[in-house]
Amino acid sequence: MRRKRRTRSKRKLLFSLLLPLFLISSTAVGYGFWHDHIQLEMSLTAAQKPSIAVGLITTPNDIVKLVVNKSTWVIESTEPNPVPVQIDIINNGTTPIDKIIATNALPNDLRWQEQEVQVQIWRTDETIIEIHPAFLETIYDPSNYTLTVTIHDIKRATGKYLEQDEKIIIIFYMEYALIGTVLPQQFAYDPPQYTNLATATAGIGGWSSDPTTASTTFTTQISWVGEAG
């Protein structure tokens, strides 16, 4: 009986000595495997983050006419009025997209016409879906004249993610801030040009695309109306 007890005691002692070493080595191996796995997963995911191309259209022919009274030189209106802006955001990568943030820096002398922004999704099968305003967040900052439109959940809004080669179209309108004021004299001889700038990012889960920008420059022409004074 004594020999058996001594043998068991030795085994317990040996086990108690080896167990911590085993746990330490297992933890080290496990951590190394986990670390390598996470790094590999992150590198693969980062390489597949969303990618977009952005297009911008301000009026169909990039010309806005200033309608000016010949007698008073007051700017009465513009053609077109209001001035339309269209932002095209295309998924040019393989990763589906579930969120879009688009910010438009309005040109000098133009302001956002406060009405509902129109957003459509164009599928590769040529289906066009109007996104309900309930799924949009529109923020206008009058201090720097920027309009930001966010679509938080494209899949929920349309039933599917924005897939490769599909696009989102955002349409809004601008008003000419100088309507009702006297045309600056230099405008009569050198009508101003204006630049419109849009920046967009796309995302899914915790990943976002790089910011992508597009800009257009449109010219103005003077359209005199009425009788000269």
Q: Rounded CA gap, 156 and 170, in Å?
A: 18
- Say whether pLDDT at 20 is over 90: no
* Same domain assignment for residues 34 and 59: no
What rounded mean pLDDT belongs to the chain? 84
Pair 56, 145 in one domain: yes
Residues 107 and 180 reside in one and the same domain = yes
pLDDT of 23 > 50? The answer is no
Q: Which of 217, 207, 220 is nearest to 42 (CA)?
A: 207
CB-based contact 90:177 (threshold 8 Å): no
Whether residues 5 and 99 fall in one domain:
no
171 & 71 share domain? yes
- For 51-62, how does the pLDDT look when each residue is reduced to its tens digit (9 = 90+)? 999 999 988 789
| 20/90 same-domain check | no
Q: Say if residue 31's pLDDT is above 90.
A: no
Number of domains in the chain: 2
Q: What is the mean pLDDT of residues 212-228?
A: 92
Section 64-92 average pLDDT: 96
Please tell me the distance from the alpha carbon of residue 158 to that of residue 39, in angstroms, as a whole number: 34
Residues 34 and 89 in one domain: no
Strands 136-141 and 146-151: antiparallel
Does pLDDT of 30 surpass 60?
Answer: no
- Residue 79 sits in the same domain as residue 30: no
Kindly report the CATH number assigned to the domain that includes residue 101: 2.60.40.740
Range of the domain at 43: 1-47
Q: Are residues 129 and 203 in the same domain?
A: yes
- Residue 144 pLDDT > 90: yes
Identify the CA nearest to 81 among candidates 216, 188, 176.
176
Parallel/antiparallel/unpaired status of strands 63-69 and 212-225: parallel
**93 with 19, same domain?**
no
Question: What is the rounded CA–CA span in Å between residue 14 and residue 156?
Answer: 61
Mean pLDDT, rounded, for 21-25:
50
Burial class, 220, CB count within 10 angstroms (exposed 0-12 / middle 13-18 / buried 19+)? middle
Say whether both 54 and 23 belong to one domain.
no
Do residues 56 and 31 make contact, with C-beta atoms less than 8 angstroms apart?
no
58 and 115 housed in the same domain: yes
